[in-house]
Chains A and B, each alone.
Chain A
């Protein structure tokens, strides 16, 4: 199971469960939406929206501590809400949908269900060998 499989399985799950996927970057994929983080720029693998909650996620084949840390740092960024609202505004405008204010931002890590470690901080999205996805808070 590679990172592409994880990312595309999660993308499929999100689309089937009424999340609006704003960005999905499998390895080698293209993304234009980024956040600035301590002079660095990060392009989240997945950004999606459901019920006024924005979800930002990073995927790897196995649980990855540096991704967990990166998302914690992002969650502490001062301009996170402002930047995220702009991303949502642009997305909704591009889809000709009415504007809405985001009420919360949540973070997730996507990885294989065979991974021994999981995150205690973010949502875990686990993918099995058949591409079945399980959400674990």
Chain B
């Protein structure tokens, strides 16, 4: 059996191979960029995993030349403040929505910092898992008395000889072996006993902690019936424009009783800067924490709206402008030339004919468009 490990660099691959220490036949592959000929060679499921962001490791099984992703791994040593955990959640969501399990490795606490991992994040992963019927679980970075331990020769990757990592790799091995049954149509990852136990444990680890809107100063919950008044009070647009906008909202938006508005007020522009972290991750997290009831973004009980309050970001022209999709058009759009520039152009054009800019627009635009029902600006709205 061949196990393909896709990751950005060989260090991650060698760490994984060392950690799993089994006689599987491992192959290292880089995660290709969208538009690249190699991207077109990826299985659709793997492309789907990459549609919002890029996980650190994607593990696939290859049988008879068919590659099938089975697991994504996300690793961070960042202090476990909520926004740092949430920042990477879209990667977990994209995997879960593609029927692929995830493991998210992060610190529980770091010596010298007051931040502690909040058990509400376990609950978030439990919701993502339950809605998608595929487990996503946390493991905590190897540590000793809250000092994070790296594997020797692998800075930024957790020490392997540690109970957390031993348990994690046992789980992965178990899954790889158990997954031989995948051709059985009734097969569920939750049938794998060790994953079931781990997931049940994660449910208990929440200690009753869940996300609460009232704990989130950047969030506001309004009645959707008040949306028109809300827009009138905020936007620099005439009443006719606002009336027509509200009248033409999709019924799925106007029919939901409540609307959750994430409205960060950042000191400097953040709509695209620093890949819009952590706000794009917060959107994905809040979607599953408060809004989502089904696998599809249309299956929400509460609308999810993003409203950037920074004066520069509050104008829709920022989205259209040089740092937004105008840049995409100027730099990336392949449909401007009337002839092929080089051999790569063929692949790039094919890619865009098949997928549009789903994978090639910048990360913030990919995530806003996916998770938001609406974005509110002073001079307009975007409806998705």
A112 to B76 CA separation, bound complex (whole angstroms): 28
| Number of A residues, CB within 8 Å of B | 23
Question: A23-38 interface mask toward B, CB cutoff 8 Å, 1 = contact, 0 = none?
Answer: 1111111111100000
Q: Are B148 and A32 in contact, CB atoms less than 8 angstroms apart?
A: yes
A21 to B11 CA separation, bound complex (whole angstroms): 13
Quick check: is B245 within 8 A (CB to CB) of the other chain?
A: no
- Given the interface contacts A90-B112, A94-B148, A94-B149, does A33 sit within 8 Å of B11 by beta carbon? no
Contact of A32 among B12, B110, B267 (CB under 8 A): B110
Binds A, one of B150-158, B190-198, B333-341: B150-158
8 Å CB interface, B1-19 against A: 7-12
Question: B33-77 interface mask toward A, CB cutoff 8 Å, 1 = contact, 0 = none?
Answer: 000000000000000000000101000000000000000000111
Question: A47-91 interface mask toward B, CB cutoff 8 Å, 1 = contact, 0 = none?
Answer: 000000000000000000000000000000000000000100010
Q: What chain B residues lie within 8 Å of A30 (beta carbons)?
A: 56, 75-77, 156-157
Give chain B's interface secondary structure class.
loop
Quick check: is A4 within 8 A (CB to CB) of the other chain?
A: yes
Q: What chain B residues lie within 8 Å of A86 (beta carbons)?
A: 112
Q: Are B150 and A26 in contact, CB atoms less than 8 angstroms apart?
A: no
Q: Are A22 and B147 in contact, CB atoms less than 8 angstroms apart?
A: no
Quick check: is A99 within 8 A (CB to CB) of the other chain?
A: no
Q: Are A27 and B77 in contact, CB atoms less than 8 angstroms apart?
A: no
Quick check: is A93 within 8 A (CB to CB) of the other chain?
A: yes
Contact of A23 among B31, B153, B155 (CB under 8 A): B155
Name the residue of chain B whose CB is nearest to the CB of A92.
B147
Q: Are B107 and A32 in contact, CB atoms less than 8 angstroms apart?
A: yes
Quick check: is B78 within 8 A (CB to CB) of the other chain?
A: yes
Name the residue of chain A whose CB is nearest to the CB of B155.
A24
Q: What chain A residues lie within 8 Å of B270 (beta carbons)?
A: none
B94 to chain A, nearest CB (A): 16
B165 to chain A, nearest CB (A): 14
Q: What chain B residues lie within 8 Å of A33 (beta carbons)?
A: 77
Q: Are A29 and B112 in contact, CB atoms less than 8 angstroms apart?
A: no
Contact of B147 among A27, A29, A31, A93 (CB under 8 A): A93
Contact of A94 among B112, B147, B157, B267 (CB under 8 A): B147
Q: Are A15 and B153 in contact, CB atoms less than 8 angstroms apart?
A: yes
B114 to chain A, nearest CB (A): 15
Quick check: is B79 within 8 A (CB to CB) of the other chain?
A: yes
Contact of B156 among A27, A29, A94 (CB under 8 A): A29
A24 to chain B, nearest CB (A): 4
Q: What chain B residues lie within 8 Å of A29 (beta carbons)?
A: 8-9, 11-12, 156
- Given the interface contacts A32-B156, A86-B112, A94-B147, does A26 sit within 8 Å of B9 by beta carbon? yes
A56 to B253 CA separation, bound complex (whole angstroms): 50
Q: What chain A residues lie within 8 Å of B31 (beta carbons)?
A: 28
A116 to B379 CA separation, bound complex (whole angstroms): 47
Contact of A28 among B9, B78, B110, B157 (CB under 8 A): B9
Quick check: is B29 within 8 A (CB to CB) of the other chain?
A: no
A4 to B112 CA separation, bound complex (whole angstroms): 31
Q: What chain B residues lie within 8 Å of A31 (beta carbons)?
A: 77, 156
Give A contacts to B, CB under 8 Å. Answer: 4, 7-8, 11, 15, 21-33, 39, 86, 90, 93-94
27 pairs, CB–CB < 8 Å, chain A vs chain B = A4-B9, A7-B9, A11-B11, A15-B153, A23-B155, A24-B11, A25-B156, A26-B9, A27-B9, A28-B7, A28-B9, A28-B56, A29-B8, A29-B11, A29-B12, A29-B156, A30-B77, A32-B79, A32-B110, A32-B148, A32-B156, A90-B111, A90-B112, A90-B147, A90-B148, A94-B144, A94-B147
